[in-house]
């Protein structure tokens, strides 16, 4: 399956849903879609080199501890958190905390796209 990331607003999402509903009403076979609607400024931000590098790195992992990711990507935790929050906003990753016995908690990052193709679409 492909994850399609499109520039658009909530009204674009509802227009797409209406088209799908119309196809269902007409008895057409509807294939499952995984479309993420993204605000224009966020779409451009997702395509920045450091973020695409991060997505490529995370893609090969089932899960990764935040501190390990900071070290592997050779980034500051502040800049990495900013990127992770953007990816999380659009449900490309899941961030949660797990106890680390005797050492507090770990922040865990899990990709939601794994080996799926990610397709960015923008119309101007």
Please count the residues of the chain.
Answer: 124
**Alpha carbon of 58 to those of 13, 87, 103: distances in Å?**
27, 11, 24
SS (H, E, C) the chain: CEEEEEECCHHHHHHHHHHHHHHHHCCCCCCCCEEEEECHHHHHHHCCHHHHHHHHHHHCCCCEEHHHHHHHHCCCHHHHHHHHHHHHHCCCEEEEEEECCCCCEEEEEEECCCCCEEEEECCC
Residue among 4, 1, 109, 113 at smallest CA distance from 59: 113
In this prediction, residue 59 carries a pLDDT of 84
In whole angstroms, give the CA distance from residue 34 to residue 7: 14
Report whether pLDDT(122) > 70. Answer: no
Count other Cβ atoms within 10 Å, centred on residue 89. 14
Give pLDDT tens digits for 18-66.
887 888 888 888 776 677 777 777 777 777 888 888 988 888 888 999 9
Spatial contact of 35 and 16, defined as CB atoms under 8 Å apart: yes
For domain 2-121, give the fold: Arc Repressor Mutant, subunit A (1.10.10)
In this prediction, residue 121 carries a pLDDT of 65
Tokens of 4: 């399609």
Give pLDDT tens digits for 68-79.
999 999 999 999
Report whether pLDDT(124) > 70. Answer: no
């Amino acid at each position: 399956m492909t994850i399609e990331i499109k520039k658009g607003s909530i009204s674009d999402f509802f227009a797409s849903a209406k088209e799908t509903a119309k196809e269902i009403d007409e008895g057409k076979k509807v294939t499952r879609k995984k479309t993420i609607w993204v605000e224009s400024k966020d779409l451009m931000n997702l395509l920045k080199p450091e973020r695409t590098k991060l997505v490529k790195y995370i893609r090969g992992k089932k899960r990764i501890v935040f501190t390990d990711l900071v070290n592997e990507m050779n980034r500051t935790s502040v800049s990495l958190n900013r990127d992770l929050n953007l990816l999380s906003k659009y449900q490309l990753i899941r961030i949660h905390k797990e106890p680390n016995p005797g050492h507090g908690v770990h922040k865990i990052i899990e990709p939601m796209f794994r080996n799926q193709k990610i397709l960015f679409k923008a119309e101007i």
